[in-house]
């Protein structure tokens, strides 16, 4: 159904995006005010120590040389060494990324699990009590900051009812899933609210569209009309919205990882920025950019398979 040409074209489009992101990240960290060496060393450092670290970080060389070295290493798959923890950036990112990915995937899954059925209920019961309750609940969820929702869930379901651990990540794969449930739910709630409202409107539109009337007139059962005709068309805009929100989900992971004490990539990013750990900021940004680009690509492919006009 999808032409290989379309997939290839989309893949090639990712490359300039990534180059652009690498250049911008490299420049942005260097535009931050204040000297990174003295920021890392703090108020008590002597001038000699600052100069020593400056040289160690290669910051005494011209910008273009610094970028050349960085780009050359990236092409060879080497992201450099962290100035904060003195470990290879590639290893740190690989170490921290799985938790964030698992959290994001779980959150996305939970968000869909919540949004799709509830959107149907709300749409089919438009204006009635069910619709009002569902919309009301999501409105509240949407208005509350993520860290607050997280703390409430922790206090009630972890510290209070003892159904879940109070933060952390666990040691085994199953324990990871168990530990990540509440943080994933925290993230899912805000995304589910956005998706649900969008899908509800789309379903309402599709329900009143001519093709839905036609399908019903043909005598098709409601179930078939809803799933084959209404849902498929209503999902197109929701998939786009879902894809666009993957980036937001990764952003939300920063806060969720802090509240739930998960050693993920989001927290790594924040810590690295505070520590002015240039190699880690650059490496992590690059890896996340690749992931978001892949997510966008997948979104486009799903969309194209739902609506063949997109691929043309």
Positions in the binding site for another protein (CB under 8 A): 32-36, 38-50, 52, 84-87, 92, 95-96, 147, 151, 154-155, 158-159, 162, 165-169, 258-261, 263, 267-268, 271, 275-276
**Closer CB to another protein, 149 or 295, in the complex:** 149
CA triplet 244, 151, 243: central angle to 5 degrees? 10
Least distance between another protein and beta carbon 180 (Å)? 13
d(CA 276, CA 54): 12
**Closer CB to another protein, 162 or 309, in the complex:** 162
**Closer CB to another protein, 124 or 166, in the complex:** 166
**Closer CB to another protein, 50 or 137, in the complex:** 50
Q: 141 is written with which tokens?
A: 């969820």
Least distance between another protein and beta carbon 161 (Å)? 11
Least distance between another protein and beta carbon 224 (Å)? 48
Least distance between another protein and beta carbon 171 (Å)? 9
Residue of 89, 107, 309 lying closest to 193 (CA atoms): 107
Least distance between another protein and beta carbon 3 (Å)? 44
d(CA 1, CA 68): 43
Question: Which value, in Å, is the radius of gyration of the alpha carbons in the chain?
Answer: 24
Question: What is the total residue count of the chain?
Answer: 312
3-state secondary structure 62-96: CHHHHHHHHHHHHHCCCCCECCCCCCEHHHHHHHH
Q: Are 279 and 81 in contact (CB under 8 A)?
A: yes
Q: Please name the helix (run of DSSP H) or strand (run of DSSP E) that holds residue 43, with its range, or none.
A: none
**Closer CB to another protein, 135 or 258, in the complex:** 258
Least distance between another protein and beta carbon 41 (Å)? 6
d(CA 247, CA 10): 18
**Closer CB to another protein, 237 or 258, in the complex:** 258
């Amino acid at each position: 159904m999808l032409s290989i040409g379309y997939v290839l074209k989309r893949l090639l489009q990712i490359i300039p995006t990534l180059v652009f992101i690498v250049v911008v990240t490299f420049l942005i960290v260097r535009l931050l005010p204040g000297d990174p060496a003295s920021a890392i060393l703090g108020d008590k450092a002597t001038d000699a120590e600052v100069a020593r670290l400056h040289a160690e970080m290669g910051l005494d060389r011209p910008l273009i040389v610094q970028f050349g070295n960085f780009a050359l290493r990236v092409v060879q798959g080497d992201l450099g060494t962290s100035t904060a923890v003195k470990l290879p950036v590639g290893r740190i990112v690989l170490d921290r990324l799985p938790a964030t990915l698992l959290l994001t995937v779980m959150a996305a899954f939970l968000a869909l699990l919540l949004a799709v059925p509830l959107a149907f209920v709300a749409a089919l019961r438009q204006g009635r009590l069910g619709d009002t309750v569902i919309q009301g609940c999501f409105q509240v969820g949407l208005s509350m900051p993520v860290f607050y929702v997280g703390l409430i869930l922790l206090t009630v379901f972890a510290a209070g009812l003892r159904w879940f651990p109070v933060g952390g990540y666990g040691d085994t794969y199953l324990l990871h899933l168990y530990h990540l449930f509440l943080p994933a739910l925290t993230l899912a709630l805000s995304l589910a609210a956005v998706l649900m409202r969008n899908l509800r409107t789309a379903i309402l539109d599709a329900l009143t569209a001519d093709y839905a009337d036609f399908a019903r007139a043909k005598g098709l059962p409601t179930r078939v009309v809803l799933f084959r005709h209404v849902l498929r068309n209503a999902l197109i805009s929701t998939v786009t919205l879902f894809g666009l929100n993957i980036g937001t989900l990764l952003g939300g992971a920063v806060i969720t990882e802090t509240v739930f004490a998960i050693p993920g990539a989001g927290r790594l990013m924040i810590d690295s920025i505070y520590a002015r750990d240039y190699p880690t900021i650059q490496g992590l940004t690059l890896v996340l950019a690749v992931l978001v680009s892949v997510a966008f690509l997948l979104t486009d492919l799903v969309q194209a398979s739902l609506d063949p006009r997109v691929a043309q």
